[in-house]
C-alpha cells in the first residue's frame, strides 16, 4: 500500500503548483477570460514546453507515457488556479479519443501538434434530448462512397472556438439510445457545414453550440470502428470525470482554506468569526467532505489505472457523485461564511464556487451518477 507520488510525479506537481502560484492570480485570470481566445496562449505554450500536454500519450505517439494518475496530479493543481487553458478539452477529451481510436497514420498526422500545443481539439458528445446520456445520439452519419455525411447538432462543446479538429459522436445505425451503432469522427472545425455559436460559460470559460449540416468527412477520419464508438466515448468520459474530479478537489481545497483564513481575520462582536463554534463545525464538515472527495478521487483513479473496468466504472460514478454533492456543499458554505463578501466578484472564492457548479453539470450531475451507481 502506497499513496506516495513517484519522484517524477512529485516534480510535475511542484512545477504545476509553482506555475499556478506565479501566473494565476484572480485579476490575470479574469483578464485572460475576457479576451479572445478566452485563455492565455503564452500559458498554453508554456504548458507544452514543460511537457504537460504530452503526459497522457504513449511514448510511441510522442508523449510521455503517463496515465490517469499523472493527469490527476496536473488537474488537481489546475483546480487550485482555476486554469482556463484547454487541457481537459484538447488533451484529455479530444486527445483521449484520438489516441484510443485514431489509425496510426491519423495519429502521426495529428498528435505531434496536439502535444506541442499548436493543434487544439474539442470533443462534441452532448445533445439536447440526451440530457446526460452519452449513448443518446441523434446526429447522423450516412455513408456515401468513401466518405460519410454528417447532420445534427451538438451542445455545450468546450474549446470548439479554438480547436482545429472536433471529435463528433454520430449515429450510424441502431435506435436513438443504443450503445451499438455510434461512430466517432474527427471533423475539421472549418469544414463546410459546421456552424459554431460561441458563448461564455458561468465559470469564465467558453463553449459552443455546433450545427452540423451535410458535413462530408472521409472514412479515414473515423476513430475506432464504425458502430463501435461508444466504448471510446465512454472511456474518454471516464478519463474526463477523473480529471474533473481532480480539478474539483483542488478547487475545494482553495475554498475551504480561504474560508478558514477569512474567518480568522474577520471580526464581528469583538471576536474573529472563527471563534464561533457553529462556524468551526461547519468548516470541519467542509474539510471532512473535501478529504472524502480526495480519497474517492484516489480510489477511482487507481481503479482506472489498475482495476477491472466494472469496478473502476463504479468508483468513477461514486467520485462524480461525491464531487458534485460536496462541490455544492463546500462552495455554498464558503460563500455563506464569507457573508456579503462571499457574493462579490471581488474575492476569488465566488469564482471557485461557480466552477464547482459547472463541474457538477458536466458528464452527469450528482443525482445522475448516484442512480448509475445504484443501478
Among the listed residues 257, 163, 143, the one whose alpha carbon sits nearest the alpha carbon of residue 206: 163
What are the residues whose beta carbons fall under 8 Å from the beta carbon of 370, sequence distance 6 or more?
Answer: 317, 321
Stretch in the footprint of another protein (CB under 8 A) among 16-24, 59-67, 194-202, 247-255: 194-202
Tell me if 358 contacts another protein by CB under 8 A.
yes
Q: How many residues bind ligand FAD (CB under 6 A)?
A: 12
| Cβ pair 180, 332 in contact under 8 A | no
7 contact, one of ligand FAD, another protein, none, CB 5-8 Å limit per kind? none
Q: How many residues bind another protein (CB under 8 A)?
A: 50
Other C-beta atoms lying within 10 Å of the C-beta of residue 59: 10
Least Å distance, CB 346 to ligand FAD, is 12
Give the C-alpha separation, 318 to 314, whole Å. 6
Q: What is the contact mask toward ligand FAD in residues 265 to 304, using x (rule: CB under 6 A)?
A: -x-xx---x--x-xx-------------------------
Q: What is the contact mask toward another protein in residues 204 to 223, using x (rule: CB under 8 A)?
A: ---x-x--------------
239 contact, one of another protein, ligand FAD, none, CB 5-8 Å limit per kind? none
Least Å distance, CB 121 to another protein, is 19
Least Å distance, CB 104 to another protein, is 34
Other C-beta atoms lying within 10 Å of the C-beta of residue 143: 12
Q: Exposed (0-12), middle (13-18) or buried (19+): which is 15, by Cβ within 10 Å?
A: middle
Tell me if 264 contacts ligand FAD by CB under 6 A.
no
Nearer to ligand FAD, 196 or 255 (CB): 255
Tell me, what DSSP letter sits at residue 87? I
Measured in residues, the chain has a length of 375
What are the residues whose beta carbons fall under 8 Å from the beta carbon of 210, sequence distance 6 or more?
Answer: 124, 153, 154, 155, 157, 160, 166, 168, 194, 195, 196, 197
Stretch in the footprint of ligand FAD (CB under 6 A) among 83-91, 131-139, 331-339, 355-363: 331-339
Amino acid at each position: 500500500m502506497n499513496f506516495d507520488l513517484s519522484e517524477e510525479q512529485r516534480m510535475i506537481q511542484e512545477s504545476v503548483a509553482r506555475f499556478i502560484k506565479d501566473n494565476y492570480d484572480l485579476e490575470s485570470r479574469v483578464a485572460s477570460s475576457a479576451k479572445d481566445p478566452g485563455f492565455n496562449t503564452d500559458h498554453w505554450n508554456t504548458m507544452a514546453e514543460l511537457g504537460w500536454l504530452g503526459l497522457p500519450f504513449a511514448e510511441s505517439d510522442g508523449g510521455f507515457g503517463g496515465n490517469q494518475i499523472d493527469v490527476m496530479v496536473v488537474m488537481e493543481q489546475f483546480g487550485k488556479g482555476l486554469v482556463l487553458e484547454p487541457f481537459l478539452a484538447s488533451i484529455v477529451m479530444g486527445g483521449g479519443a484520438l489516441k484510443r481510436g485514431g489509425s496510426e497514420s491519423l495519429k502521426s498526422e495529428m498528435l505531434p501538434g496536439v502535444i506541442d500545443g499548436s493543434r487544439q481539439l474539442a470533443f462534441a458528445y452532448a445533445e439536447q434530448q440526451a440530457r446526460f446520456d452519452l449513448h443518446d445520439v441523434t446526429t447522423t452519419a450516412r455513408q456515401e462512397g468513401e466518405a460519410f455525411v454528417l447532420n445534427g447538432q451538438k451542445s455545450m462543446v468546450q474549446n470548439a472556438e479554438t480547436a482545429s479538429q472536433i471529435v463528433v459522436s454520430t449515429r450510424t445505425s441502431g435506435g436513438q439510445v443504443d450503445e451499438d451503432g455510434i461512430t466517432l469522427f474527427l471533423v475539421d472545425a472549418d469544414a463546410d457545414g459546421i456552424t459554431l455559436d460561441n458563448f461564455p460559460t458561468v465559470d469564465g470559460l467558453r463553449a459552443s453550440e455546433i450545427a452540423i449540416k451535410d458535413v462530408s468527412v472521409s472514412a479515414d477520419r473515423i476513430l475506432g470502428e464504425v458502430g463501435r464508438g461508444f466504448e471510446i466515448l465512454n472511456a474518454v468520459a471516464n478519463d474526463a470525470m477523473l480529471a474533473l474530479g481532480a480539478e474539483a478537489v483542488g478547487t475545494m481545497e482553495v475554498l475551504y482554506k480561504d474560508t478558514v483564513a477569512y474567518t480568522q481575520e474577520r471580526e464581528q462582536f469583538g471576536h474573529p468569526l472563527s471563534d464561533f463554534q457553529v462556524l468551526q463545525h461547519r468548516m470541519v464538515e467542509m474539510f471532512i467532505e473535501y478529504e472524502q472527495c480526495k480519497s474517492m478521487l484516489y480510489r477511482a483513479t487507481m481503479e482506472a489505472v489498475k482495476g477491472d473496468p466494472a469496478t473502476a466504472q463504479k468508483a468513477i460514478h461514486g467520485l462524480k457523485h461525491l464531487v458534485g454533492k460536496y462541490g455544492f456543499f463546500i462552495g455554498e458554505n464558503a460563500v455563506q461564511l464569507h457573508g456579503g463578501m462571499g457574493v462579490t466578484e471581488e474575492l476569488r472564492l465566488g469564482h471557485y464556487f461557480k466552477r464547482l457548479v459547472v463541474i457538477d453539470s458536466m458528464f452527469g450531475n450528482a443525482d445522475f451518477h448516484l442512480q448509475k451507481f445504484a443501478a
